[in-house]
Structure 1
Amino acid sequence: MRPMTNPPLLSPSPFPLLLRLLHLSRAPRRRNPTTGRAPTCTSRDRLPLLLPAAMSSASNTAPHSVVADPTTLARKIADIRAAGPTKLQVIADFDGTLTRYWYDGARGQSSHGLLRQGNEEYDAKREALYQHYHPIEICPDIPLSEKAKLMEEWWEKTHGLLIEGGLTYEAITKSVSDAAIAFREGVVELFEYLEEREIPVLVFSAGLADIIEEVFRQKLHKTFKNIKVVSNRMVFNEEGRLIAFKGKTIHVLNKNEHALDMAAPVHGNPGDPNGSMDDYSLVKKRTNVLLLGDHIGDLGMSDGLNYDNRIAVGFLNANIEKSLKDYSSAFDIVYLNDAPMHGVVQLVSELCP
């Protein structure tokens, strides 16, 4: 690693992670055993740094976390600390990021996949759409412009089936109750810490806001005033039946801050009227970002924001050997093997002590 030419300004008592990153970024490089010279290394070919498990979780079996560029991460931490909590916001993906990838030894359900309309015919039709469009979603050979149109087509057809099939919010409540979905350990502690410091959390999802909110209500059993959900929102009639969707469609390729007009606080009850975010301008003024995601594409969630600093935290839940290089290049920190949220809690405590 190259030594830091301009070390960040630290407070008199910097926190452990920041100290360790600075120490590692300044550590002498190993010499080549044949030449006796330290090998050269650029930011592109820098090897990832495996941090001890204790830094990402209190569990004795916690996975390691990976930091490819501790120098840059240390600088970002110091800059965000210096700016203070009034300049920070958190942007988080939902499925596979706030929620666990594995559930009781099997793949956990997504907020979209858990939904059962109470009508087997329409559940089967939505599954058929998934089988058709999902291979397109993950195909690397289709141009993004073409893929985006197909994703919007998929979402629109699915929403049409939900309306036509007579989805009710009672069906949503039961679907969540029966679902194999759970938050990562440490999520509540993270939300509580952020709420105490009035740091807004924007939860972005290409799924359905009403389902996400029901997952919050049933699985966390509490609400947080600083959390807003940016996702597809349903409109119900007086009988609790879905009649429309509100605003533009959010799918996997347009999930970013351009969709902030869809944001609203987590509702206290299912079927509550859809409100809008009342502090849009304040969020725009928060120019330091902590971004949490489980796909490299989640980095686009901050595209609509003119930020000064962004720390991107990635959760690499599966295919680790194949994907680690790309993830460690894209994210500042990568947590492996469906890790708990404890490492992020520690990071936030250092960003905003």
Structure 2
Amino acid sequence: MLKDIAATAHGVIADFDRTLSRVWHNGKMCETCHGIMDNSALMPPFYRQEANRLLGKYYPIEIDPKMTEEEKIPYMLEWYGQIHNLIVKCRVSQGSLEDMVSASNVKLREGTEKLMNELHTTNVPVLVFSAGMGDILEQVLKHFNVYTNNVKVVSNFFRYDDKGVMVGFKDDLIHMFNKNENAIHSSDYFDKLRGRNNIILMGDSLGDTKMAVGVPQPSCILKIGFLNDKVEERLEKYMKNFDIVLIDDQTMDVASSIVDLMK
């Protein structure tokens, strides 16, 4: 499989938080898209307090190896619904998002900029598929100069009023366990893959393995999984669902090596 992918890689599908972005840097946890907003000084204190409380309640459920996806989904819907309603109450301005990202400690995995540049240079379409907040995700990609014309983002995007104040979300909710639904896969990215049937998929959760649903007649999908925590509890399931499992790897070395073989 690796030889086939390397010889004719036609597309990349990647989760963002803790996949393209780092988990740790210099001993400190890096912020996710939600974390950027949760910890921003531009957000009111009541938001940060409630968001952190919800994280403490629901994140252990998200990564609980003993629960099935079906058992987790109602809790994830509760979590996202409460966070989204909370954000609306904050009347976030569209213009503040760039400042939130600039002031955050978000970082891409070491070598991500190089990898994204290679994919752009070789005209490989990249789908960044995230259950996070698309507006912030796009700002992060712009901040690190990797939001090029071959990159498509599918995520949860804000809806704004005529004054640029966030008043809700567009389209259907994307969470970590519904990345296979047809409504989500209406993205024109999949049209671009016609005739490009070999895919590199990267994610950090088991739900990410579904991101390639919608690829037209796939001949080969190489799934790279980043296992960032609870390694002993989750390793067996990751080994069954991903072709390559990287444990606490804060780099893009493996994916870059595969893309380099394309040359």
SS in 2 for 1:113: helix
The amino acid that maps onto 1:139 is D
Instruction: Tell me the TM-score normalised to structure 1 length.
Output: 0.66
User: Distance in 2 between the 1:176 and 1:313 partners?
Assistant: 27
Change (3 A) 1:287 1:221: closer
The amino acid that maps onto 1:335 is L
Residue 91 of structure 2: aligned partner: 166
Would you say how many aligned residue pairs link Structure 1 and Structure 2? 258
Instruction: Tell me the TM-score normalised to structure 2 length.
Output: 0.87
The more displaced of 131-140 and 318-327 is: 318-327
Residue 252 of structure 2: aligned partner: 341
The amino acid that maps onto 1:338 is D
User: Distance in 2 between the 1:222 and 1:90 partners?
Assistant: 14
Pairing of 1:122-161 with structure 2 (within 5 A) = 122-161=47-86
The more displaced of 117-126 and 107-116 is: 117-126
Q: Please point out which of 138, 153, 160 is paired with 1:213.
A: 138
SS in 1 for 2:120: helix
* Structure 1 consecutive aligned stretches of length 4 or more whose deviation exceeds 6 Å: none
- How big is each residue's C-alpha offset from its partner over 1:143-192, in whole Å with a ceiling of 9 and x where there is no partner? 43342233123212211111122112233222212212101121111111
Change (3 A) 1:321 1:121: closer
Residue 175 of structure 1: aligned partner: 100
Residue 94 of structure 1: aligned partner: 16
- How big is each residue's C-alpha offset from its partner over 1:182-216, in whole Å with a ceiling of 9 and x where there is no partner? 01121111111111221111111110010111111
Change (3 A) 1:340 1:178: same
The amino acid that maps onto 2:97 is I
SS in 1 for 2:174: coil
Change (3 A) 1:121 1:300: same
User: Distance in 1 between the 2:52 and 2:198 partners?
Assistant: 40
| Contact 1:201–1:226, Cα closer than 8 Å, also in 2 | yes
Residue 185 of structure 1: aligned partner: 110
Q: CA RMSD in A?
A: 2.3
Pairing of 1:1-353 with structure 2 (within 5 A) = 76-80=1-5, 84-85=8-9, 88-115=10-37, 116=40, 118-218=43-143, 220-256=144-180, 258=182, 259-261=184-186, 263=187, 277=188, 279-283=189-193, 285-305=195-215, 306-320=217-231, 323-350=234-261, 352-353=262-263
User: Distance in 2 between the 1:155 and 1:320 partners?
Assistant: 25
Q: CA deviation at 1:301?
A: 1.5
Change (3 A) 1:184 1:141: closer
| Contact 2:20–2:109, Cα closer than 8 Å, also in 1 | yes
Change (3 A) 1:257 1:283: farther
SS in 2 for 1:310: strand
| Contact 1:204–1:256, Cα closer than 8 Å, also in 2 | no
Change (3 A) 1:180 1:337: same
SS in 2 for 1:114: helix
SS in 1 for 2:245: strand
Q: CA deviation at 1:328?
A: 3.5
The amino acid that maps onto 1:342 is D
Which structure has the larger Rg over C-alpha atoms?
1
The amino acid that maps onto 1:122 is Y
Where does the alignment leave 5 or more consecutive residues of structure 2 unmatched?
A: none
User: Distance in 2 between the 1:340 and 1:154 partners?
Assistant: 30
| Contact 1:236–1:242, Cα closer than 8 Å, also in 2 | yes
Where does the alignment leave 5 or more consecutive residues of structure 1 unmatched?
A: 1-75, 264-276
SS in 2 for 1:194: helix
User: Distance in 2 between the 1:257 and 1:345 partners?
Assistant: 29
The amino acid that maps onto 2:200 is L
